[in-house]
Amino acid sequence: MFRRRPAEPLERATVPWLLASAVATTAPHVEHQPHWLMAIAGAMLLLGCWLWFSRRGLPPRWLLSLIVVGGSTAIWFEYRTLFGRDAGVALLILFMALKPLEMRSRRDAMVVVMLGLFLLLTHYFYSQSIPTGLWLIASCTLLTATLIRIFGGAQAPAVIVRHAAILLLQATPFMLILFLLFPRINGPLWGLPQDAHSSRSGLPETIEPGTVSNLVLDGSIAFRARFDETPPATPLLYWRGPVMDEFDGRAWRAIRAGNLPLHTPRVEARGTPLAYEITLESHQQRWLLALDAPLTLPSGAVLTARLQAFSREPVRQRSRFAFTATTDYRFGRDDPPAMIDAMRQLPRQGNPQARALAEGWRQKHASPTAIVAEALQYFRRENFVYTLQPPLLGNAPIDQFLFETRSGFCEHYASAFVFLMRAAGIPARVVAGYQGGEVNPVDGFVVVRQSDAHAWAEVWSAESGWQRVDPTAAIAPSRVEAGIATALPAGEPLPALARIDLDWLRQFRYRWEAINNRWNQWVLGYNPDRQRELLRDLGLGEIDWRGMTALLATLSGVLLLAITIWALWRRPPQDAALRLWLAFCARLARSGLPRHSWEGPQDYAARVARERPALADAVRAAADAYVAARYAAPQPRALEQLAATLKLATRQLH
């Protein structure tokens, strides 16, 4: 029957290291987890600090068990499950906050360290940015230092942290080999369907007053574009997203594809093709935000009848797509009549003033071009205001906007313009996307932000097909030419980045975003394609997962051998007396008398004398000779005397 080994008690001075590790690994989750949970976790960790500082006993286990049950129940009510990304992380945070309140042994301390290491991984479920990576490196160093403190005894904190940093530096080459050569897979780090991906999104699927203007205060990056040649001028940068062609009296949305004829558009390029690549942030939709108008698409993408570039699956992680496009084009002249007729449809009733205005234009002008020009002139002439803070609209939003408030954002103008065109009998639709972008002078990428979200119109004629008409340009031309910040009246709210007017701060932002872009391209974007490209550049050609695994194992073995040789070379030479003594102790160990690590030569000799009286004199003589040779003042023949004494004592073991 095996006897259970007693748990080694935990040193009191180790507890602050463990509490600091718990705080470092849980604190960043305050941004993603419910506030009530983080408040409970913070309170539990503060309680642990107070108990340690005041030298009070730990709370009873039954109380902790009640807190675990109550916390788990609350997490279930919050997420309606105890599984998945968010609920699983919440449980880990709860356990990490409570574990320091029952730490009594080294085994408990090891649980805290292991929980901390796992919690570090969970941070990448929510953010994979450079600051997150730096925080994780610092936290991993702290956890490693905590392990050293647990098993290495009392040392100066600076010595412990330096030792931990050296260990991580020694592991860095292995990390690089694993990163570069471990077979890559496409897909998110976390794979459960219900919460595998971020909920972040950009453009809405419907357009109504306020839907686009709500995005303008968001300065986050929607995507980056890198052109092979000089990027087009800002007024030509229209990035096409969802196309809305059905109006219910207030909102525009896309007609279901099954209700339209199947049709592949034919783009007639009249300008020079532009080759470019976009790095698209996750937006949970299938549209790829191609530059109007796309000529070639990435592998697996399709071009819809509305000239939208669609991927097979929603864009759920940062992805790169290569296109060619032209900004001077013509398309849609051969669209089916049924599709064109659908672009004239309006609700039977509503907005009578707008209908009457459009009917007057139709009677006045014979050509669609003249009606379009009349509508744009109307917007210029009637003192419309471009603003992010328009008045709320009621049940007849088009009439109220055109004849009462005359204040709105791009979606107001695009919606009203398309309504007027349809009321005049001209096929028209609303297009949402992004307009413009800022060239980062550091890396040359065109950066398009959520604040560049825009809505415009398209009208159709038999001669020209679909043509873009941007009514916002008639009201605030600077919006299209120079961006949102130049078009809004003074005092309007703007995204923080648009308010930056300091050159040094702007230059810092350029450099920081360029660094982030490199991180995205070469670290987060290191996908199977990039891996195969790297291996080809290294002359390895097309290599399958078996060859990659063999290469990974070989390089790891070579690296381990190199580190071992370096460690042996760096090891200080062993004292001759110590070498002789250790050999003698090994011989005694084979005889059933092993020396404990904490035993000095005299204590070891005394114990051997008690356990084997016949060896007492020989072992004492050996210990005395070793002490004299190792620790006493140097004697000319001390080492020879030690060797002779140990040899004589060894003979008596037989």
CA 434 vs CA 43, 256, 466: distances in Å: 45, 23, 19
What is the torsional sign of CA 540, 544, 550, 554? positive
Residue 116 contacts residue 147 (beta carbons within 8 Å): no
DSSP helix/strand/coil, 363: helix
Round to whole Å and give the CA distance between 254 and 308: 12
Angle at 494 between CA 493 and CA 500, to 5 degrees: 130
pTM: 0.73
Q: List, in sequence order, every residue forming a beta bridge with 431; answer none if it has no partner.
A: 243, 456
Q: 480 — phi, psi (to 5°)?
A: -80, -30
Looking at the chain, how many residues does it have?
654
| Res 550: pLDDT | 83
Does the annotation mark 283 as catalytic?
A: no
DSSP state of 275: E
Closest CA to 412 of 245, 251, 209: 209
Q: Catalytic: which of 86, 245, 335, 470?
A: 470
| Res 192: pLDDT | 44
| Res 194: pLDDT | 46
Query: Within its chain, how far is the Cα of 488 from the centroid?
Result: 33
Q: Structural domain boundaries of the chain?
A: 12-172, 206-499, 528-570, 576-651
Closest CA to 303 of 253, 266, 277: 266
Does the annotation mark 470 as catalytic?
A: yes
Max distance between CA atoms of the chain, in angstroms, equals 127
| Res 501: pLDDT | 65
Q: Catalytic: which of 29, 123, 197, 454?
A: 454
Q: Catalytic: which of 140, 195, 410, 412?
A: 410
Does the annotation mark 603 as catalytic?
A: no
Round to whole Å and give the CA distance between 139 and 22: 10
User: Taking the chain (654 residues) in consecutive chunks of 10 residues, what is each chunk's mean pLDDT?
Assistant: 62 93 93 92 93 90 91 92 89 93 90 93 86 93 94 88 92 86 64 47 76 76 93 93 90 75 79 92 88 91 90 86 93 89 91 94 92 94 87 88 90 94 95 92 92 92 92 86 69 61 80 87 78 78 77 85 80 77 88 85 90 88 87 77 84 75
Query: Tokens in use for 583?
Result: 């050999």
Q: List, in sequence order, every residue forming a beta bridge with 322; answer none if it has no partner.
A: 277
Q: Hunting for tokens 């610092």 — which residue is that? A: 138
